[in-house]
Structure 1
Amino acid sequence: MGWREMVMLAAALAGVYLVIALLALARMRRRPPRARNVEPTAPDNSGPAFKPQPPGQVWDHPFLTPVRLPDEPPPVPTGVPVREEVASPFAATLAATELEAELRQLRAEVEQLRQELAEVKQARRVSPLYADAAALAHRGFDARGVAEECGISVAEAELVLAMSKDEKNFDSEVGDGADGRKHDVAG
C-alpha cells in the first residue's frame, strides 16, 4: 500500500467522522429543550419548610458544621462503645491456624524467590553466546562434547566448563567499592 492510498484512506476516515459528528449535532438540535426551573404542582406537606436551629448552636456558614457556644458544656461523645473481646479457645486456634497457613505461604514464596535469584545469578555468569554451552556443561558434558554440540573450539568449551564449575568466584562477590571489586573473605 503506497503513500497515496494511505492519504486517501485517511481522508475517507476523516470524512466519515465528519458526517457522524454532523448527524449527532443535528439530532441534538431536534430535541426539545429541557425545562430549567420546574415549580412543584402540589405542596409537600411532609414537614416544615425549614428546620429550626438547634438550641445553643450558631451556624457560621450553611456549608460548615455548627459551632458550639462558649457557655455550653462540651457534648458527651455518643459513639459505639468498644468491647474488649475475650478470646475463646476456638478463636485462638483459628487465629493460630491462619497464621501458620500464612507463614507456610510466605516460606514457599521465599523459596521461589531464592530459586529465581539462583537462576539470575546463573544467567549472569554466562555470556549469551555461550548459553547453550553452559547448559550442556551443567548436564555433565565434557569439553569435546560441548565443542562438538555448539560448534565452538575445545578451548572455548573448556573455558565455559571452568566458568560453570567455579561458582565461588561469583557467589562471594560483595559489591564494587572505591578500591574496585570486593570479595567475601570468609567464603
Structure 2
Amino acid sequence: MVQTGISTIDVMNSIARGQKIPLFSAAGLPHNDVAAQIARQAGLVAREGVEPEEFAIVFAAMGVNMETARFFRQDFEENGAMERVTLFLNLANDPTIERIITPRLALTTAEYLAYECGKHVLVILTDMSSYADALREVSAAREEVRTNCCPCHNSPGSSECLSRSRSQPPGAGTPRIPRIHVH
C-alpha cells in the first residue's frame, strides 16, 4: 500500500500497487499544492518485521507556467523530496508534441524504476487537461473528425497514459495519480 500523507485519500481511497486514482479539481483550487504534498509525503506503509523497500516518485506536470514549475522544483528541493523524485516539467510555452510526450516519458521512467531497478514507484501526472488539449490540437491540425463521445477519441494513444500497463507478476504495479482539471 502507498501512503500519501493525506488522510482523506489514505482512509477513504487507499492506493494499492497498480491502482490508478484521479484527483479532480477546478480553477482556483489548490491542486498544485495537493500534488506537491503527495509527492513530499508519499511512502510505502511500513509493515512489522519486513525490511523497508525502495520507493521512488515520478512526477510529471504538463502545460504549467514558469511560476508553477518553479514552485514544484523549489518545494521538492526544500523538503528533501528531490532525492526520490524524478521530475518532468512541460511548460505552457513548450511545443505541443512535448506535452504529449511528457506523460509517456514519465511512465517509461516509472516502468524502468519498477522493473529494472526493483523499486516501488508512484506516478503523479498533473495537468491531464493540458495533455487532452494537446491531443485535441494535434487532432485538429491533422483534420481528424471529432466524435461526440470523447474530444480526443480519434487520437491514437489518447487513453494510453491513463491505462498503460505491462505484463506484471501478481501484486506488482505502479500506482498512478492523474490530476484532471475540470473546466
Into which bin does the TM-score normalised by the smaller protein fall?
under 0.3
Larger Rg: 1
Which structure has more helix as a fraction of its residues? 1
Indicate the structure whose relative CO is greater, using CA pairs within 8 Å and at least 6 residues apart.
2
TM-score, scaled relative to structure 1 = 0.20
